[in-house]
Structure 1
């Protein structure tokens, strides 16, 4: 018997008392295995199984308990996917993946990139236009990396810009922008985690999309990293290993490190490339994405109004286009359904546009769309496992135990920083921000709620404090992802830029750690003391600029 025989109680608070420190086993197993195996799917799977075994342990024998644990784990996975909200999230993620594949096949994103690339005449403008492209391809970090790199590589090579810098700009504008975008392949996953975690503290009717929007000012790392790229490109100043790479490329003409072989990194996905002879049009990307955004906005309003009741509904009907009406409608909308519907409709628009232009046949269009869906199946798997782990931790009382253990001993001001650092460590070890969010979010919101209550925060301040910690989870995961040599987006950025992967990581790591440090000192630490974000963000931006201006060195010959 792996655990003492315990009669499972029906209430999670009682379970946390009965299991005691054993309630930490599911998340700890997932985290430790993530360090060891660097495989988030396997780690989450075993973490779930360890929890269901605790729940299923019987007086008979280990094998019977294992059987019941496996059955319970399977039922939790099915239950996670059977939930209407979760099913909508999975469908929207997969559908957006299909839409991205279709518009990429049509050459739309490439046309946008080429339009901007033609205007890049200097090293500064080439880097700035690469940075700007990241904002255009905001909906997916993978698409961002794969589209921008091959287009800008000839331009940056001509202007003697190091491939390491190109890979950094692409990587630094992929996940940070996708994480901030209101409509992307990330949003559904993040909304589901937020909603599920709030449900665990007795707030099942919380507006997850509203919480997501409120976290945006607290995404210090994302915002400051985007600013860092801009200031560095604008001033043409670098420091650390990136300065050596930039100086080498400009003075010797070696855009890649001659000591490393980057030929193996020069790969593109031929299936996603447009056919020869296809005329690239920016409208092949702009129209489907515009349709996605417009349909989603209209859908949020209509879906939300249909869910309103009583006096609120009467007030909205009396003045349907007021700020109050829009706010209440968006707050009541089911984001999982609306974004799925918008993504499905925009996919149909993209396919019709491609058929009309004879870019592909109907069979090829559907095959491409399905390929895009399959590319994001791994995301659906992580989603289901993360939801299941959350359900297991809720049943064994992990959050309740941590709340009891830490709410009285954890200083209020340090928790957001601890969450940010812990998220970065997990993400670094696993190479994925998705899995990190799935592990940390179910623990962070209950813990932040308890710490805030214990320190006597008023309801409004408590709400803002929880939002701050949610932002720390979402950005800490991206920070660790930027530092990790096994990060999927970092690998894609290296491939798309034809840059040796470890050259990319070694140069980017220095910058990521610097921006992460500023995010703590000018962000999460003072924000926990209720310093307004309107002060903290300008302060962080000023620090970033001053360091680049006075510590960074110009690498161009005068």
Structure 2
């Protein structure tokens, strides 16, 4: 069943179950079991062994030894939970919220905080997702902005900004991939960095998604399931659906905030996390580069997960020391550590199962099947970017990985364009990048989506479902943009059309909401 249409079954089944049951662990587990059975022709014992091996490989494999990258990321999540717990116990979060409510005068301003931070922190999507949530949450909480909406702001800025920024972990990876593709196809018209820069305005979805974020923040556009979450938050002050149990990143009431907490008890640990992570990224990137290292090679070779771990460890140490020097702490250290760890367990459970189903889907070669469909399809070459945007979007949705989609689809996009029309090489690859981010925004098994809900302290499935309408609006505008590009071949026309479509849809939604309120 590998590499055939049947390889889509586990991914589609998982997505359907998520929508019907809203139980992410059940849905992921079902997809894993069905995928394992398909891999082994429904041999139960072999399938059980497959599931066990996939789980163990997350931590250790016979061929490669310990899976250090995965362990670093899981450890970072625990460290982040502990840091958050100390910032709460020290009174830093409360003090920062009190300060922010004096400086940020409106609910609109509170929603703009994570929107701008999401654009400014462009180094890495993981780092963006988690750090923006930690800084913005005290502000948005005070103005009763639902956690689902905060997660949307985080998720819909993190990947879009990193995918169009050369100086980021994504940008460096993409530039390196482009270089290998150019060599393989004998493309000499562009250098990899030059090509990446020229592809930026062709990534219509990234600009559409970020523009929509600001419309939503400024005009408080709440559609679909988001309306329910925002109404509950404003009317009752409940920022999450408490009936759904614990959410990742959310602390219980076992921690009491120190009465004499100061803003520094939040800003210093967060600053340590930011500076420590960035410095570690530069150091690990430099160590992994050759002697003539440049800023691009540094970010291409940086060890993101190790850097996050280093930054997280330093943040915990500093947060602990700040708490030690406070007089008469209300919560003992053991409780703070345990509550911080406990708060991150839901995210870790989801992330592990997401990695497992991603491995199963990879073994079934779902991505390879979709790529083969594109290669064999007889399509009008002018509409190649539009087709690639849609296929990459579905592939990223089904597999939960933007980077995996990049790796599969970028070479195929270039090969098709070289054979059909070499002038479409850059638009075709840019459309793959755009589609990959779109699919990533819709996928419940995407790392970035999981970490965005974690950073916001939102229920994961609530985040996925509330973000879907906004992602589809951006995708619709992007599709129109690529259709116009197919007609005109001119990005100067197509990109503004995409953004105008977003503005028109946002204006219509604002009018509809205003009429309902009247």
- Structure 2 length normalisation: TM-score? 0.67
CA distance in 1, matches of 2:334, 2:353: 30
- Aligned positions of 1:157-176 closer than 5 A: 169-176=149-156
Change (3 A) 1:442 1:230: closer
Structure 1 position 376 matched with structure 2 position 347: yes
Change (3 A) 1:36 1:479: closer
- Aligned positions of 1:22-101 closer than 5 A: 22-24=2-4, 27-38=7-18, 39-51=27-39, 53=40, 66-82=44-60, 87-101=67-81
Change (3 A) 1:202 1:212: closer
Q: Deviations over 1:463-513 (max 9, x none)?
A: 7744541442232231466xxxx99978998989xxxx89x979x776554
Q: In 1, are the aligned partners of 2:28 and 2:357 still within 8 Å (CA)?
A: no
Deviation at 1:385, TM superposition (A): 0.8
Q: In 2, are the aligned partners of 1:99 and 1:350 still within 8 Å (CA)?
A: no
Structure 1 position 333 matched with structure 2 position 315: no
Q: In 2, are the aligned partners of 1:402 and 1:447 still within 8 Å (CA)?
A: no
Q: Give the secondary-structure state (helix, strand or coil) at the position aligned to 1:281.
A: coil
Change (3 A) 1:326 1:201: closer
Q: Give the secondary-structure state (helix, strand or coil) at the position aligned to 2:435.
A: helix
Q: In 1, are the aligned partners of 2:54 and 2:359 still within 8 Å (CA)?
A: yes
Q: Give the secondary-structure state (helix, strand or coil) at the position aligned to 2:281.
A: helix
Q: In 2, are the aligned partners of 1:176 and 1:223 still within 8 Å (CA)?
A: no
Structure 1 position 452 matched with structure 2 position 452: no
Structure 1 position 352 matched with structure 2 position 321: yes
- Aligned positions of 1:63-212 closer than 5 A: 66-82=44-60, 87-105=67-85, 106-107=87-88, 108-121=92-105, 125-133=106-114, 135-136=116-117, 139=127, 152=140, 155=143, 169-180=149-160
Q: Deviations over 1:338-365 (max 9, x none)?
A: 3333333333223333333365544234
Structure 1 position 406 matched with structure 2 position 390: no
Q: Deviations over 1:62-97 (max 9, x none)?
A: 85xx43454355445434543669934323332332
Q: Give the secondary-structure state (helix, strand or coil) at the position aligned to 1:271.
A: coil
Counterpart of 1:320 in structure 2 is: none
Counterpart of 1:284 in structure 2 is: 265
Change (3 A) 1:362 1:330: same
Q: In 2, are the aligned partners of 1:141 and 1:174 still within 8 Å (CA)?
A: yes
Q: Give the secondary-structure state (helix, strand or coil) at the position aligned to 1:376.
A: helix
Give the number of equivalent residue pairs: 465
CA distance in 2, matches of 1:70, 1:479: 29
Structure 1 position 545 matched with structure 2 position 503: yes
Counterpart of 1:7 in structure 2 is: none
Q: In 1, are the aligned partners of 2:270 and 2:315 still within 8 Å (CA)?
A: yes
Deviation at 1:127, TM superposition (A): 1.4
CA distance in 2, matches of 1:219, 1:263: 38
Counterpart of 1:208 in structure 2 is: none
Q: In 2, are the aligned partners of 1:91 and 1:340 still within 8 Å (CA)?
A: no
Gaps (5+ residues) in structure 2? 19-26, 122-126, 184-194
Q: Which has the larger radius of gyration?
A: 1
Q: Give the secondary-structure state (helix, strand or coil) at the position aligned to 1:90.
A: helix
Deviation at 1:132, TM superposition (A): 0.9
